Amino acid sequence: MGPGLLIKALLQGSFSLMVFGWTQIVMDVQPLWVMIVGHGHVHGFSHTIPGSSLIAIFAALTGKYLSEFGLKIIGIAKPSQPIVIAWWVAFLSAFIGSYSHVGLDAIMHGDVQPAFPLTLANPLLAIISVSTLHKLCLYSGMLGAVLFYVVHWHTRKKHY
């Protein structure tokens, strides 16, 4: 979620962190199922460009409504001022979520084959260490949180 926080800080209302997060969950349903049943390819079709594209479409179609409902439940969206996530924002957020998920997992998992069925190769594997990858995700999230609140504070200050 760290990179998602940074993207949210940069794109603000043109990106839905909720849809992005939902996409992360949907991306890992297939690996979770393989781990539960004990057989199959852990990072299989869901962690390929074609598979993650299908997941992004599903996540956008379902995540838009789930996110709008979730924003109401946590009190960010008020009945008098509902937050409506534009379809293009839902799709952009879901595709960024699914493709970044494949890319990050390809760096750290040897069984990811992002360009399947064209090739079984994983050119991203170990381009940086897993430790460095984790730090980049953590630091991007920290930077994103700070930037988001600075922009949010600055924007609110202008309106008063």
Q: For 67-109, what is each residue's pLDDT tens digit?
A: 999 988 888 877 777 789 999 999 999 999 999 999 999 999 9
Whole-number Å distance between alpha carbons of 100 and 102: 5
Banded pLDDT at 32 (limits 50, 70, 90): very high
Decide: 52 and 99 in contact? Cβ < 8 Å: yes
7, 60, 71, 86 from 68: Cα distances, Å: 19, 12, 5, 10
The total domain count for the chain is: 1
What is the extent of the structural domain holding 25? 2-158
The model's pTM: 0.91
